[in-house]
């Protein structure tokens, strides 16, 4: 009998502790994000930068998790939008440019995430988007004859709103 009372008391104390913890509110997390109106400006400016160099491109912007936010394809662009999407995804999820990613995985013995994630690509043109010190997404540009040109266009688009990202 004494053993039953002890077990019942221990069980009630444990359940009471669980109930107390469950009644606590969940913690709140806040994070910055790129609003759609700014994403449109960035994409249009990146597209204009490439157009000024004579290239019709596609531009994709993704959120911090690599989810599609915006995709624009220039009139006359001869490139599929999934290329720029994959570049933006790689930049957003790896937190480096895709040119830097290509250089990193080119080293002997380096980890190559493109082997394990079919959405990731190491072709130049993907740039992470930062607001202050916080990564908030990625931009990918595809369609110029070299990844470095795509990357320059992406950076030109971001430069247009840089003052609003800090």
The set of residues, in sequence order, having a beta carbon less than 8 Å from that of 60 and lying 6+ positions away, is 43, 68, 70, 71, 72, 81, 84, 85, 87, 88, 139, 140
- How high is the pLDDT of residue 31? 86
Written as tens digits, the pLDDT of the chain (166 aa) is 555 555 555 555 555 555 556 678 888 878 889 999 999 999 999 999 999 999 999 999 999 999 999 999 999 888 888 999 999 999 999 999 999 999 999 999 999 999 999 999 999 999 999 998 999 999 999 999 999 999 999 999 999 998 888 7
Structural domain 36-165, CATH architecture = 2-Layer Sandwich (3.30)
SS3 state at 86: helix
Is the pTM higher than 0.85? The answer reads no
Q: Position of tokens 């960035």?
A: 42
Q: Where are the domains of the chain?
A: 36-165
- How high is the pLDDT of residue 30? 86
In 3-state terms the chain splits into helix, strand, coil percentages (rounded to 5) of 50, 15, 35
């Amino acid at each position: 009998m004494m053993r039953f009372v002890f077990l019942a008391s221990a069980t009630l104390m444990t359940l009471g502790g669980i109930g107390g913890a469950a009644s606590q509110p969940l913690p709140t997390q806040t994070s910055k994000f790129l609003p759609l109106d700014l994403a449109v400006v960035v994409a249009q400016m990146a597209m204009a930068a490439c157009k000024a160099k004579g290239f019709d491109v596609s531009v994709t912007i993704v959120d911090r998790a690599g989810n599609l936010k915006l995709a624009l394809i220039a009139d006359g662009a001869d490139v599929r939008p999934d290329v720029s999407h994959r570049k933006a995804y790689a930049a957003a999820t790896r937190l480096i440019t895709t040119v830097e990613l290509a250089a990193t995985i080119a080293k002997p013995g380096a980890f190559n995430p493109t082997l394990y994630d079919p959405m990731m690509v190491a072709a130049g043109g993907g740039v992470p988007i930062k607001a202050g010190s916080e990564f908030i997404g990625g931009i990918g540009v595809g369609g110029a004859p070299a990844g470095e040109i795509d990357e320059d266009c992406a950076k030109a688009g971001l430069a247009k709103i840089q003052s609003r990202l800090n």
